Structures are given as structure tokens and as C-alpha cells.
Amino acid sequence: MDRFRKRFSGFSSLIVIAFVLICTLLIKDTGKAAAVRYLAAVFAVSFFMRPYFPAGRIKYPDGGFGLCFGLGLAICFYFCWTICAITGFEFADVSVFGAFIVLAVSGYVINKSVIKKPYITPDEFTRFAGGFAAFAVVFIVFYYIIGFNPLVDPGTENYMDFGFMQTMYRQRSAVIYDIWFSNSKLNYYYLGQAAGVYMTRLAGTTPEYGYNLMLCTFIASVFTMAFELTSGIAGVLIPDFNRKKLSTLLGGLAGGTFAAFAANPHWIIYGPFLVAAKKLFGTDDGERYWFPDGTVYINTMNGDIDNGKNEFPAYSVILGDLHAHVINLIFVLPLLAVLFGYVLDEKEKERDRSGGYMLILISLLLGLFKGSNYWDFAIYYVYAGALIVFTDIKKKGMSLATAGGIGVKGVVVTIVSIIAILPFSLNFSKMESGMELCTTHSPIGKLAVLWGPAFIISTVLVFLLYFSCSGRDLTIGPAREAILAFVLCTMGLVLTPEIVYVKDIYGGDNKRFNTMFKLTYQAFVLFAIIFGIMVAILIYRLFADRSLSTVTAVCLSVAAVYLLLSVAYTPYAVNQRYGNILHLSDRKGISSLEGLRGDPSYGFEMEAYDYLMGDDRKIINIVEVAGDSYTHESALSVYTGACTPVGWYVHEWMWHNNPEPVHERADIVAYFYRSGNEEFCREFLKTYDIDYIFVGPAEVCKYPVNRNGFWNLGDICCETIWQDCDLALIKVDRSRL
């Protein structure tokens, strides 16, 4: 019977994968071949990097497909990036594929010579294929959805993120020049976007398609990894009995679904409940919930004393955001898997090669976070410390030897994480200015709305583990202490912005904004895992403790309703952002740029884009409007990956932690366009090594352009008339300078 079930499971997975590929090819889209290659690249990374993923005591129902992909991408990318950063080799196709092949072969040799077991058994491959099938389904659903509104949006930071990827792709360099501060290295946490470029090259495509395909990969990874983590951790807790598999699978599905597709409770209260109440009492004013509302619930416009931010993965992917805190989640969840695998082993595994390897791997991932999202380094350094402290004390007792062992581990993690990121940190200056005590706080009522259910769920889980009758039947060992540390740290992420905040350029009403934003984003995902573990234990309790079945059934029913209401956010928000996705004729395709060609507002910019993309030099400098943040200005540099003297003003101010050099460049660019002074323009072009001058709609709208200063300093590549204004892309002639 088991053999039949395994064969049926494997056959079902293959059917799902084939169905996904057929659907992808049937959808009318210029990027469908890129999507198929991208899925193939995801599978290859996960499959061939499996030997590097140490599961430890945790068993994953799908063989850990998603976690293998996340860790595999981190290893492949960072191995490639580090070599290129140290040696100066191009961060291009040769190095990308070369790094992958070297690691794949090394993994095979390690598996055969060191671990000495089959690379993968038929049963393992069946489960692995099931994980890929689940990943592929989520991937193709969002591939279809994003195609209704795929364009980079200047009103969000996906404009900037796309520009980063295009710049990295064009420059083919590990350490890149700043897209919006030419002749200067980019002083930002860009390694997450660089990993996106790695995947883009591995899939044989370009950022035009790779950006949105990475968005699909992100949301599919969150679902798959959260499912695996939840079911795997729950499986360690629940004793081996005939309902264990059902409990862990359903708990895993609850955790993965919540992490990827749910919203915070603000949506439930002010979305369906408030609309229903208005209709019930006849006070419906026609106003509807706007899908970003729950992310800015704490806001001065709502009468609060300062501004806060509370985002979550469903919102990120619907918005089209591949910012640092978003993309790094693909690496965060594998770190948690390795960390739990390390601390949950009751034997002194840290003394042998496997335990030492896991500790080094934790250190390397934390080091990577310093270059992809520094907030995650700080957050998960604390998590690693807390889990190790709690479980080591449980395993060895409170003693000087235990304290010394914990201290040694802390030193190892600190030193390795510093060394690992040196190629990045030597070219980077930190932007933050220390910590401050909070003088303002969020309203208690709003905190209760946003985080009350999560705190209740966490409390219920701790009660089930430590105080309930069924809790005594769960696996005794370090698992409970690890989860207690995990729960306390996650609660701490919510409470920390009410006590301290990190100083940055956001002052006044926004001083806590970024701290709350980055900490609570992680908290949302981690609470989803806690929710899934609680569901798994409740299902186990339903079968294991018949005397409390009624209470348990009620708790499970409440959890199910809460999950369904929370997840209803995703289709609602998709409809607002993308329109009616049942109208296939409205779908534009997955390209981030192709749809701009039919828009008169972008026509000339796309003509200039085509010309600049034909220039095969890795680094080209253009002068365009000194753009303000969150505007369409500085568009040509974003589209082409060319560098400009100054771009989005506030962002560059933040990256340099100083507004003066940014303001100075903005004034110089403005004078270049306005002055009509040919001698000044000639010196400007030489100083900033400008290759092209762009006079587009944004330039003539922002400046009274006087072309006498520069029109004769180059040759016109393309030109047009727009609203009685001369527009042109001019290639600078060095002989005239």
C-alpha cells in the first residue's frame, strides 16, 4: 500500500509539473520561454545543491525542496560574487555557470566520498518532485497575475530595485558603480538584487523578464519554505504515531499559506467586517478598503503622534517590490532551518563535522545578510544566540562550561560573519547613526489590532508545549526550549520599536518608521510559522486526547476561520492592483518594459532606451534630470543601467548619510540644462565623464532647458518634438570638449 501511495504521489507531482509547464507555454507572453528556463534553473539549484543542506534531526515532507533552493542560491551566488569581487572577474554568464558547475560537482563528490550514500533515492526524489510541483504552482499563478501590471512603478521602490538589477547586469561587475551617483561605488545593501541577477543569468534571460520572475520566485519560496519549516519543526515535537503525518502536513500548509498570502488583522477588521457592518446598519458610504491601508495603520494622518510601517509578503509581491528586506527572506528561512537543525540535536553533534559545518553555515549566512539586508543580520544574530543559549542550557545544564561553550560559539559566529562579508564591507560605509530610546509610542489599541492575535497564538502554543496534558506527550528535549526562545524573540520584534529605534535620515514623525518596518516584516512571517506549529499540535491533540476533543475542535475552527479571512486579502488586493485577472485580453505580459512602448508618455524614452542598449560598453554615463524620489524622473538610467550624476535625491542622501554632496550635484545638473553656458557644459561633461546627454519629457518639464550650452558638443542619436519642445539623445563627441 505504501509503495502504491508513493508511486501515485510521484505520478501526481509529475502531472502537476507538466500542467504548469503547458499552462506557461499556452499563455501568450514574450517571456514564456524565460519563465520555463527560470523554473528549470530553480529546480537545478535546489537539486544539485542538496548535499550542502544539513537537515539534522528535522525531516521535511517534500525533502526540503524550497529550503535547498534558498540555501543553494545563497551558496552559489555568494561563492560566485566573492570570487568576482576579489579577483575582478566579470560577474557574468561564465562566472555564474562556472560557480554553479564547480559547486554541483563538489556536492556530488562530497555526497559520494564523505557522506557515502546515494545522491538521491527514488522515495526522496518523489518527495522532492512534490515540493517542486507546489513551488511551480504558486510560481505560475503569480506569473499569470503579474502579467496584468508588470511595469516598473516610479511610485514605489521597485523602480529603484529594477534599476539596480539592470545596472548589475550591464556592468557585469561584483562591486558596482552607483546608478544615481556616477563615478562612485553604490553604497547600499544590494546583494539581494545581485542574487536576482545571478538567477537571471542562470536562466538565460535579462532583468526585463528576470525582475518579475524573481518576484514569482520570492512568493513561491515563502510559501514552500514556511510550509517546510512549520511541518518539519512540528514533526520533531509530535511523537511518532499514526496521525503524525496528517498533523504536520496540515500545520505546514497553514503556516505556509499564512506566511505567503495572509494580511495582518487590520484587513479583517477594516475590510470585510467593517463593510458588512456598514451594510447591516445602512451606513454604507461606498468607501472601500485600499490594499496598502493595513501597512500604514499607525500614521499621523490617522491622528497618531508618529508614523509606522507594517508590511507582509503578500503585499510586497502584489506591489511588485524586490527591496532588500523582501528578497533576503529567501535566505532568512534556510538560515532558520539550519539553526533549528543545529540546536535540536540532543547529541553533542556540534563536536563532529556536521555540527561544526552547520555553525559555520549559520555564520556565513549571517555575514551575507550584512550585504543584502543589515537589519536581518542584527535580528537573526539575536535569534541564533537565543536558540543556542536556551537549548545548550537544556542539554548541558547551567554551568561555567556551558557558558564557555556558548561564548566560543558566539565568537566563531561573529568572526566568520565578519570575514565572509569583507569583499562587500570594504567598499561600503554604514548609513545608520546608532540607537535612541523612543520618545513616542504606538497606540495600545492599534498594537492590539495588529499583533494581538499573533500574541494570543504564541501564548496558546507555549501553553500547549509546557502546561497542557497533551504537552507532556510531546517529544521531550531541546525542541520546546528552542520554540520558546523563538516565540519570545518574535514577540520582541514587535515590542523593540516601542522601546528603541535606529537613527537614520528619517527624523521627526518618521524616526521609528524604518525600525518598525524591518522588524515587524520579519515578525509577520515568523508568527505565521508559530501559527502553523500551533495548528499541527492542535490536530495531534484532537486525535491523541479524546477528553478535550471539543475544546480542541473549537480552537481549530477559530484558527481555520482566522486563516481564511486573513488569506482573503490576496485575491482582494490582486483585484485592486491588477484588475480583473479573468480577462486574459487585458494581460500585458511579464516584461517590465515592453508595455511602455505603446504609451505616448514613454515613447521617446523607449527610443533612447533602444539606442543605449545597443551600446555594448559595460559602464556608460548619461546626464538626465536630477530626479526626486518616487517620481518618474531619472527613468533612462533605471531602464538602461547607465549611470547618471545624481538620481533620486532622498535615497542618495540616505545612502551617503549626508545631503550636501547630493544637493551639490543636483544644482550642477540643473545649471547644466538651464545655463546655456557652453564652457561650463564642456567642463561638466569632462568632470563626470558623460557619454550621452538626454533631453526628454522630464527634463523639459523640470528645467527651462537652454540647449545652446550643449547642443553642439555631440551628435544627435535620436530626436523628436514633444509639446513644442525639442527632445533628443545626444552622443558626446570627445573631440569637441
SS (H, E, C) 629-663: CCCCCCHHHHHHCCECCCCCHHHHHHHHCCHHHHH
Instruction: Using alpha carbons, list the distances in angstroms from residue 603 to 379, 465, 521, 621, 631.
Output: 45, 62, 38, 21, 17
Among residues 550, 578, 606, which one ends one of the domains? 578
Position 285 scores a pLDDT of 63
Backbone conformation region of residue 723, classed left if phi is above 0, alpha if psi is from -120 to 50, else beta: left
pLDDT in tens, 119-158: 888 888 888 988 999 999 999 999 999 999 998 877 788 8
Segment 608-637 mean pLDDT: 92
Can you tell me which residue has the cell 530626479? 627
**Domain boundary, last residue among 520, 547, 578:** 578
Instruction: Please report which confidence band the pLDDT of residue 254 belongs to, taking 50, 70 and 90 as the band edges.
Output: very high
Same domain, 603 and 565: no
Q: Judge if 220 and 71 occupy the same domain.
A: yes
Q: Does the pLDDT value for residue 507 go beyond 80? A: no
Do 396 and 263 share a structural domain?
Answer: yes
Torsion sign, CA atoms 318, 319, 322, 324 = negative
Question: Do 191 and 323 fall into the same domain?
Answer: yes
Q: Can you give the pLDDT at residue 351?
A: 46
Residue 279 CA from chain centroid, whole number = 38
The verdict on 569 and 640 lying in the same domain is no
Measured distance CA(227)–CA(349) in Å, rounded: 26
Ranges 192-196, 201-205, 227-231, 320-324: which has the least confidence: 320-324
10 Å CB burial of residue 119 (0-12, 13-18, 19+) is middle
Residue labelled with grid coordinates 543545529: 342
Quick one: pLDDT band at residue 665, thresholds 50, 70, 90?
A: very high
Instruction: List the beta bridge partners of residue 500.
Output: 437
The DSSP annotation for 343-389 comes to: HT--S-GGGSHHHHHHHHHHHHHHHHHHHH-HHHHHHHHHHHHHHHH
Say if 588 falls within a structural domain: no
More confident residue, 201 or 503: 201
Whether 283 shows a pLDDT value over 80: the answer reads no
Q: What region does 634 belong to: left with phi over 0, alpha with psi -120 to 50, or beta? A: left
Q: Is residue 475 part of a domain?
A: yes
Model pLDDT, residue 9 = 55
Contact 383, 327 (CB under 8 A): no
Determine phi and psi for 354, rounding to 5 degrees. Answer: -65, -45
Residue 302 lies in a domain: no
The DSSP symbol for 185 reads B
Q: What is the mean pLDDT of residues 346-350?
A: 53
Q: Could you tell me if residue 427 is inside a domain?
A: yes
**Chain segment 373-418, per-residue pLDDT in tens:** 999 999 999 999 999 999 988 888 888 888 899 999 999 999 999 9
> Does 210 have pLDDT greater than 70?
yes
117 plus 229 within the same structural domain: yes
Residue 206 has pLDDT above 80, yes or no: yes
DSSP code of residue 541: H
State which H helix or E strand residue 714 sits in.
strand 714-722
Rounded CA separation 116/443 (Å): 58
Task: Quote the crossing angle between the two packed helices 549-567 and 513-544, to the nearest 10°.
Answer: 140
* Domain housing 728: 594-736
Q: Is residue 589 part of a domain?
A: no
Q: Given pLDDT bands bounded at 50, 70 and 90, which one contains residue 433?
A: low
Specify whether 621 is located in the same domain as 540. no
Q: Report the amino acid identity of residue 441.
A: H
Pair (559, 666) in one structural domain: no
- Considering the domain architecture, whether residues 366 and 492 belong to the same structural domain is answered as yes
Neighbours of 638 (CB within 10 A): 31
Does residue 238 sit in the same domain as residue 353?
yes
The pLDDT score that the predictor gives to residue 271 is: 84
Give pLDDT, residue 10. Answer: 56
Of 578, 606, 632, the one marking the end of a domain is 578
d(CA 340, CA 414) in angstroms, rounded, equals 19
Same domain, 433 and 475: yes
pLDDT of the residue at 723? 81
**Domain shared by 13 and 39, yes or no:** yes
Q: What is the pLDDT of residue 279?
A: 65
Residue 289 lies in a domain: no
- Tell me if 291 is assigned to some domain: no
Total number of domains in the chain: 2
Class of residue 145 by CB neighbours under 10 A (exposed 0-12, middle 13-18, buried 19+): buried
- Name every residue whose Cβ is closer than 8 Å to that of residue 631 and which is 6 or more positions away in sequence: 154, 648
- pLDDT of 211 > 80? The answer is yes
Q: pTM for the complete prediction?
A: 0.94
| 129, 617 Cβ separation under 8 angstroms | no
More confident call, 469 vs 159? 159
Residues 26, 28, 33, 37, Cα dihedral to 10°: -70
Q: Which residue has the higher pLDDT, 56 or 50?
A: 50
pLDDT-based confidence at 1, cuts 50/70/90?
Answer: very low
- 520-569: pLDDT as tens digits: 999 999 999 999 999 999 998 888 776 667 888 999 999 999 999 999 99
Mean pLDDT of the chain: 89
* pLDDT greater at residue 124 or residue 169: 169
Is the distance from CB of 127 to CB of 232 less than 8 angstroms? no
* Residue 390 lies inside a defined structural domain of this protein: yes
Give the closest residue to 535 by CA, choosing from 239, 254, 242, 227: 254
Residue 111 confidence class, pLDDT cut points 50, 70, 90 = confident
Residue 432 contacts residue 504 (beta carbons within 8 Å): yes
Sequence-ordered list of residues with C-beta below 8 angstroms from that of 41, at least 6 positions apart, any chain: 199, 202, 203
